[in-house]
Amino acid sequence: MSLNIVLLGAPGSGKGTQADRLQERLGLIHVATGDLFRDNLARETRLGLLAREYMNRGELVPDDVTVDMLRGRLEQSDVRDGLVLDGYPRTLAQAEALDRILKDLGGRLDGVLYIKVPDDEIVDRLSGRLICSECQAPFHRRRLPFVTCPLGRCQGEYLYEREDDQPRTVRARLKTFHARTAPLIELYRRRGLLVEVDGVGSVEEVAERTVGAVECLRVQTSDSSLSS
Ligand code: AMP
């Protein structure tokens, strides 16, 4: 049975890493709008060049283009059996659009995990973040002073700093999160979809919490479909 999950959280709260774990452990397909924009940018598509202006300022790409891009991605067949959305929705309009898209595709939103991390820790994490140019795994400059990916599967690809991880842009992204995305926490709480997850701790510790929360949602969802 398909299960559609949203991961909510500030930039740097670990959504991407945790979405990868959910994909590995539960088979939910990881869809990240930030990755879709970065992929468009690398290919220098019109969408990518438009998005770059907003991304470099730490602002949100306009809703209409973001929603169209997401719809295109969710219409692909690989996500039919369940997905985990990372970095979407970020506005109330995007949340409404998500409901419409899932309904059109015969699905629905089953749960929203809010990964909570204090702002001070976010700034610290993002200002030292380095990303592997091949596998996109994130590392921290202080804790892992390598210049090549240490995971051993990328054949020495280099680590780079994302342009929007500069301190000024990090602060702008956090401000954008509190102003535009944080209201979604209440929205989903009222709808009974929200599960709060403590995002402080090692990747493995947080992964235990997120996988556990999604497994609970899976049981609840199958119970409610049996009784309806
Ligand atoms: P992320 O990788 O999720 O931190 O996203 C990087 C940047 O891409 C954000 O700061 C935004 O400029 C843009 N972006 C990603 N997802 C969205 C979205 N759902 N709505 C608007 N802009 C987005």
Query: Which residues approach ligand 1 with their CB closer than 6 A?
Result: 11, 33-34, 37, 54-55, 58-61, 66, 87-88, 90, 94, 164, 173
Look up the pTM and report it: 0.89
The reported pLDDT for the residue numbered 208 is: 97
Q: Please give the number of the atom of ligand 1 that sits closest to the Cα of 11.
A: 4
pLDDT < 70 stretches in the chain:
1, 144-147, 152, 155-156, 225-228
The reported pLDDT for the residue numbered 100 is: 98
The reported pLDDT for the residue numbered 80 is: 93
Tell which one of 33, 54, 92 to mutate to probe ligand 1, the residue whose CB is within 8 A of the most ligand atoms: 33
> Contact at 8 Å (CB) between 41 and 120?
no
Residues 49-98: pLDDT tens digits?
A: 999 999 999 899 999 999 999 999 999 999 999 999 999 999 999 999 99
The reported pLDDT for the residue numbered 155 is: 67
Residue 132: name the closest of 144, 147, 143 by CA. Answer: 147
| Ligand 1 centre distance from Cα of residue 140 (Å) | 21
Q: Please give the number of the atom of ligand 1 that sits closest to the Cα of 55.
A: 12
Find the angle CA(95)-CA(61)-CA(177) to the nearest 5 degrees: 60
The reported pLDDT for the residue numbered 164 is: 83
**Strands (DSSP E) along the chain, which ranges?**
4-8, 29-32, 83-86, 111-116, 129-132, 138-140, 159-160, 194-198
| Ligand 1 centre distance from Cα of residue 40 (Å) | 13
Q: How far apart are CA 2 and CA 118, in angstroms?
A: 32
The reported pLDDT for the residue numbered 133 is: 84
Catalytic residues: 15, 90, 129, 162, 173
